[in-house]
Structure formats: C-alpha cells, structure tokens
Amino acid sequence: VIDMTSDLTIVIFQAGGADGLSMCVPYDEPHLQASREMTLIYPPGEGPDVPGEGPDESREAIHIADGWYDPTGTFHDNQPFGIPKSMAALKRLFDGEDEEPCILGQCFPGGLAFVPGVGAVYSLDFNRSHFEAMKFVEFSPDGDNIQSTGWITRLLQDEPGNSPLAFAHAPLRPDSMRGASKTIATPSPQTFAFPTELSPGLETEQDFLSTSYGRLDQEDPLLIAWNDTRASFDSLAAVDFENYTTAADLAGGECDYPASPLGQALKRIAAMGSHPGPEFELRVAHAVVGGWDTHSDQEVFDDGSGEPRNMHDKLVDLSACLCALWDDLKRRPRKFNVIVMTEFGRRTSENGSMGTDHGTGSCMMVLGDCIRNGRIYSEGWTGVPDPTVAGSEDLPITTDYQKVIGEILNKRYGVTVHGPGSVFPDLAAPDFLGIVV
C-alpha cells in the first residue's frame, strides 16, 4: 500500500518508436558516423563544413557525459555521450542546480538522467512490430505470457483513496492502465462534469446509470469505467485548472509549459498532481506524444529554412515540456518522477529517405527531485555494432526497461517489483541501476 505522501509519477510515452540514438547520442561511434548522413548528429566541434562558413554547429551534439555508470556504481569512461541542439534546454536539468536539497539524508540536487540501449528484451521475437512491442512494454511479460493488466494497474491495485489515482490525458487509456480501477482517461479533465440533471441534487439520472451499469459483471470494463467516472466528478471539479499558475512563474523559473498539445496536457496533469486534496491524490499520470515513427523526415537539426523539421521540432517541444515540469514541480512540496519512454528504438543505419526503420534498443529519460542526475546509466553498454554485418543492424538492448521503472516504483513507492505476483514478475532480482537516490 502506498503512503498518502507519495510521489507523483508522470509517464510521457513517445508513440511510434523514438530514435534513441538521436536523443542520447554516442557521438564518437564510428559505426554510427559511417551509417548515417542526413540524420547524423556530429561530435562537438566537428559539424559538417558549410562552404565559406565553417562547421555547421546546429548539427553538432552538446557533450553531457564522458561515460556511463553500471549497477555497481562503477564509472566507465569508454563512451562519451551528447544530446542534440534541439534538446539544449535539458542541459541545465542534467547538470543540476546549484542548491542541493537533502533527500532521505543524502544530498543530491535531483534532475535528469539518461538510459541508452534500453528496451524490452522479450520483444525480439516479434518482427519489430509496433503493436507487439507496445504490448510488451505496457503489459510486460510473466514467463511466456504477456500479462492481462498494465504495469500501472498492478502498481495501484488495492490502493485506497478517491478516484482518480491514475489519469491518462487521452480519450482511451494506455495498455499500462488496462484493468485498473480509480482510473480516468479523458483529453479534457477541465470539463469533466455530468450534463445538467433535470432534478438537481436528487441525482436520479446518475443513479439510473449506476443501477444500469451495476447489472453488468463485476469485472466488466464498462461498469468499472462508469463507477470511476461518477466517483471522479467531485475530484476533478475541485481542481482549479483555469487559474493553475506554475511555480515557475511564481519563483522566476526559466521554463513555462509550451502551448503545444503535450505542453497543455502536462500543465493539466501538474494542476491535478499538485492539488492539495483532500478530494483525491493523483499518483500516476500518462500523456502520449505521437509522431516518432521516423521512417522519413528524421531531421534532427534546424537547417534555418523556417520549414518544420520533424524530429527536431518534436525534441524541442519535449525538452521544453520537461523543463517546464522541472521548474514547476521541483518548487512544490510533493516529490515527483517523470519517465520518458517509447516502444522500441530505430535501426542504426539511415534509409534512403532521411529516416530509419524499426529497431530495438532505444533511450529512456528520467527526471525528478530524487533522481541521481547528471549520469548515463546502463547494465552494460556495448556500443554501436557494425550495421553492415548481417544481424547487427540494431542498437543492442543492454538494459531492461523494467529495471528503470521498477527502481522508481520500488524506491519511491516501496512496492515489490520483482518475482511472482509483483509489478514485474519477470524481473529476477532488484539489482537496480542506482538512478534513484
């Protein structure tokens, strides 16, 4: 059972399979340099020459780390990493702030960390399908089977408290919330209200519907959805979405929520998550951002033309969103975690249309005030293999995504995340990466 003073966890899902090699960039990898051209992010100071102007800095990585940490805390200095210019707003979050608040007796500023080469190792048998990979990462496996409930559902099952404990900013809930109660999915939480009743106060109409849905089987998703819907009217009405002012505004932070759909979704989530109660206490929120299936138009740099640059623009927006969440939520009393994930990574080699096809290993980002920031984490980074060798076209999955989520759930919520009956039954042992303080 989760303590009422628990963290707020926000999952941002990059639908379509985001190219991790463009987000957490092993920029000096010779095989990457040899197999990409238009989508390549160059080492710092080595951008492609523009005649008469010198190197094109817009295509260079920003260096963030000299190496990576393994689960024992050992630092490996054999691989520098960078981020593209489109993610420059995240450098401050990765490096951390000057002041260092003390959490659980340990002083750490909190902020952003990366996990490259991450994914669902189980998905390798499934032909790089989006839809199979989504099932793996959202339901997660139990032996040879995919589970029937999502990982967020298993985290929150039997949890006391008013609805909603889990929230998806979408018309449909993600698979990670399948089978959950006290869960609401709507793209408009700010107008979540039953239409006017004929006899105000009597609730005869809502009672009619409760009786009607009550005749369904106890496990019927329609019954659960109606009960959660009705139970959430008062909870969501208590949130002042309209006047939610970000702490960033109040305290002079640098970032505010962008006007993009993702930015506005996260602002509403922050308003719900920061609601002081006692109506409800949101635990996990989910927002999806699409467009990462970059078979073409994987432009990771701004060419200055003023035209939209697909992946570049998406990364700018995502980075601005993370920066806003940080500047807002870190100033609030409640601890928070943000998990940025996708279903799979993309092929090492570029195709003929300035894009990359479906691959395996990707990149996760975790942000929060209990995250040991400024580090790259891996269970055993092995570099980028030579994609011209048959069978070596992908970035290998060197870290199980369940380890990353599992560590946050275990250390911040105190739940068991390994072994039978747990959130991630296939996780053998809690030998975590050390991401959470």
The residue ranges that bind other proteins (CB under 8 A) are: 15-16, 124-132, 168, 170-173, 178, 184-188, 192, 194-196, 198-199, 204-205, 208-209, 211-213, 215-216, 220-226, 229, 290-291, 293, 295-296, 350-353, 355, 357-358, 360, 390-391, 393-394
Least distance (Å) between residue 226 CB and other proteins: 5
Q: Residue 320 half-sphere exposure, CB side, CA atoms within 13 Å? A: 17
Least distance (Å) between residue 145 CB and other proteins: 15
Least distance (Å) between residue 295 CB and other proteins: 4
Least distance (Å) between residue 225 CB and other proteins: 4
Residue closer to other proteins by CB (options 157, 353) is 353
Q: In Å, what is the CA distance from 330 to each residue of 16, 115, 324?
A: 30, 22, 10
Least distance (Å) between residue 296 CB and other proteins: 5
Least distance (Å) between residue 294 CB and other proteins: 10
Residue closer to other proteins by CB (options 95, 205) is 205
Least distance (Å) between residue 124 CB and other proteins: 4
Secondary structure in 3-state letters for the chain: CCCCCCCEEEEEEECCCCCHHHCCECCCCHHHHHHCCCCCCECCCCCCEECCCEECHHHECEEEECCEECCCCCEECCCCEEECHHHHHHHHHHHCCCCCCEECCEECCCEEEEEEEEECHHHHHCCCCHHHHHHHHHHCEECCEECCCCHHHHHHCCCCCCCCCEEECCCCCCHHHCCCCCEEECCCHHHCCCCCCCCCCCCHHHHHHHHHHHCCCCCCHHHHHHHHHHHHHHHHHCCCCCCCCCHHHHHCCCCCCCCCHHHHHHHHHHHHHCCCCCCCCCCEEEEEECCCCCCCCCCCCCCCCCCCCHHHHHHHHHHHHHHHHHHHHCCCCCCEEEEEEECCCECCCCCCCCCCCECCCEEEEEEECCECCCCEECCCCCCCCCCCCCCCCCCCCCEEHHHHHHHHHHHHHCCCCCCCCCCCCCCCCCCCCCCEC
Residue closer to other proteins by CB (options 16, 82) is 16
Residue closer to other proteins by CB (options 172, 251) is 172
Least distance (Å) between residue 232 CB and other proteins: 9
Residue closer to other proteins by CB (options 115, 177) is 177
Residue closer to other proteins by CB (options 39, 337) is 39
Residue closer to other proteins by CB (options 52, 131) is 131
Residue closer to other proteins by CB (options 184, 417) is 184
The tokens of 376 are what? 């790259």
Least distance (Å) between residue 100 CB and other proteins: 42
Residue closer to other proteins by CB (options 186, 402) is 186
